[in-house]
Amino acid sequence: MTNSIRTLVHPIYASALSGLRWLGTFRSVQALRLRLLAYNTLNSDEAIHEATRTRCEAIESESRAQTTKPPAPVDYELRAHMNKLFVRHLSSDGRGVDYQALVQDKEFAEFLCLTRRLRDLDVFKMSRARRLAFFLNIYNALLIHAITVVGRPHSFVARFRLFQTAAYCIGGHLYSLNDIENGVLRGNQPPPYPFASRPFREAGHDARTSVVIDGGDPRIHFGLNCGARSCPPIRAYDESNVDQALEAATASFIRENVRIVSDGHVELSRIFLWYATDFGNDVIWWILKHWPLKTEEDLQRYRRVVQWAESGQLRITYAKYDWSLNEAPSTAP
């Protein structure tokens, strides 16, 4: 594989390509994928819940004994728990997670128990806004849940396995991290690695196609956190303002991750490279459309980039992505 091709590939896959004498054929790629999945330890909704099953049964029994009110929709309850947990266990910038303190928090145990109710949630009848907010939240929740069950992914194989196999049963159908990101939120597009296929089969053969966000929304990339230090901040999304919240998340990410290196030279996050097809024909103009303009510094930087882009003098490079776990310093005893 040439260097030019490798730069278009997600680094967790590119590193494997460089170290495995990649043959570059569809058959060999599929064979590797099957070997990686053979290491699967989270191949079902049951598997990810097994570690907390006994505690959850006790919590659910106690909850039934204490209230006679019908439960709120589980996606609303999950969001309420997420908001409380994020206040306690996220770093001030929202990027880091105090996993050690999180797993000791009773609220987190209750949150994990609530995810068992997802199997009865009807996502097919949700409005687009509610579905968008729900799947943004559930992706971030599932990622954190999986890390607390199997630990941090230390290698390409571990990270690949996590994205492909950590899954919740939602409304009777399994959704992995890959299914949620690339199937639902990106409009059923292939993941950014060679010879990848769409997560969901064509309509009529896979019911999950009915929950796909038609056309996708590139801003979702700034609402998803895959557990790495270079990922966007974690937050809980509400259907009532999910569009405004995504726009704010996008503007914030642009402010922090579009760096003017020198005259005519701009450095971007690799997210804009890996998912270039999501941002249209010219990523820099997509960025400028969503550029934050709240401060004088924002406005000055915007004008400089517009000038370079219009004159054809803009050079774009991409920053190194930090894949180390987004673990915040712990406050746990």
pLDDT in tens, the chain (333 residues): 433 333 334 444 444 433 443 334 334 444 444 444 443 345 556 666 665 555 565 545 555 545 656 568 999 999 999 999 999 999 999 999 999 999 999 999 999 999 999 999 999 999 999 999 999 999 999 999 999 988 888 887 888 889 999 999 999 999 999 999 999 999 999 999 888 899 998 777 899 999 999 888 999 999 999 999 999 999 999 999 999 999 999 999 999 999 999 999 999 999 999 999 999 989 999 999 999 999 999 999 999 999 999 999 999 999 999 999 999 999 888
Tokens of 207: 């019911």
pLDDT at 205: 85
Q: Could you tell me the two tokens for 271?
A: 């997210």
Distance, in Å, from the CA atom of 246 to the CA atom of 132, rounded to the nearest integer, reads: 10
**Length of the chain in residues, anyone?**
333
Residue 67: what pLDDT? 60
User: What residue type is 261 in one-letter code?
Assistant: V
| Single-letter amino acid, residue 149 | V
Reported as half-sphere exposure (CB side, CA atoms, 13 A), residue 301 has a value of: 22
For position 216, what pLDDT does the model report?
A: 84
Instruction: Note the pLDDT of residue 160.
Output: 85
Which pLDDT belongs to residue 233? 97
pLDDT score recorded for residue 58: 56
